[in-house]
Amino acid sequence: MKTINTLALAVLLLACSQISKAQSKIFYGTGIRYSAGIETGLATGYLATKYGGKFGVSIQAEFPFIENQLYGTVNAGFNNVFTTETYNHLVEDLRSVPFKAGLKYFYRSNLYLQSEIGFSFLLNKADCVDGKKAAFVYAPQAGVIFYIHERDYIDVGLRFESNSKFYDCDSNNNFIGIRVAWGFIR
């Protein structure tokens, strides 16, 4: 009887240890994370005089540097910034493709701070205005991850994005918005 109790206790302890390992993977995850999301927001500052809302899509990969805490990120997407009704007959929507890289730090199991830098390429550069086809972009973000299953999650982040000016007569192109993405851990 003593042997059966010891064996049952050993099996129970082994099962609890496996459950706790699985739960830590649910909250932290290991390996590379991939996400695809939508971004929306509003133009701020000088850009808000001609442009209003922003809508975009993005894909992101996160590579673990320090497991469960620090990830390196790469991000690419497409953004369309809509002109306001007052200026829609004078200027076109602003369409750009940003490529960014950065760091994502988890200060709690599902709360993070992220910062990325890169370049944003303008797709519809006006021929009559002297300007650049690319601009430096900086994008800090704070967010939360909601785990759905062991390897699936929803990532919701509040972000500020600043592009240097595309045109000589322009100023920085700043946005504040939200990124909502579905992700999975590989």
How many Å is the maximal CA-CA distance in the chain?
91
53: CB partners within 8 A, 6+ apart: 40, 41, 42, 43, 81, 82
Q: What are the tens digits of pLDDT across the range 31-62? A: 899 999 999 999 888 788 888 899 999 999 99
Mark 110-145 as b/e (b = at least 16 C-beta within 10 Å): eebebbbebbbbbeeeeeeeeeeebbebbbbbebeb
Q: Which pLDDT does position 169 carry in this prediction?
A: 57
Q: Which pLDDT does position 16 carry in this prediction?
A: 43
Over 70: is that where the pLDDT of 129 sits?
no
Cα–Cα distance, 106 to 186 (Å, whole number): 18
Over 60: is that where the pLDDT of 25 sits?
no
Q: Which pLDDT does position 30 carry in this prediction?
A: 57
Q: Which pLDDT does position 15 carry in this prediction?
A: 43
CB-based contact 185:165 (threshold 8 Å): no
**pLDDT mean over 71-100:** 90
- Closest by CA to 99, choosing from 79, 83, 75, 115, is 75
Mean pLDDT of all residues in the chain? 81
Give the pTM: 0.76
pLDDT tier for residue 88 given thresholds of 50, 70 and 90:
confident
User: How many other CB atoms sit within 10 Å of the CB of residue 17?
Assistant: 10
Q: Which pLDDT does position 178 carry in this prediction?
A: 97
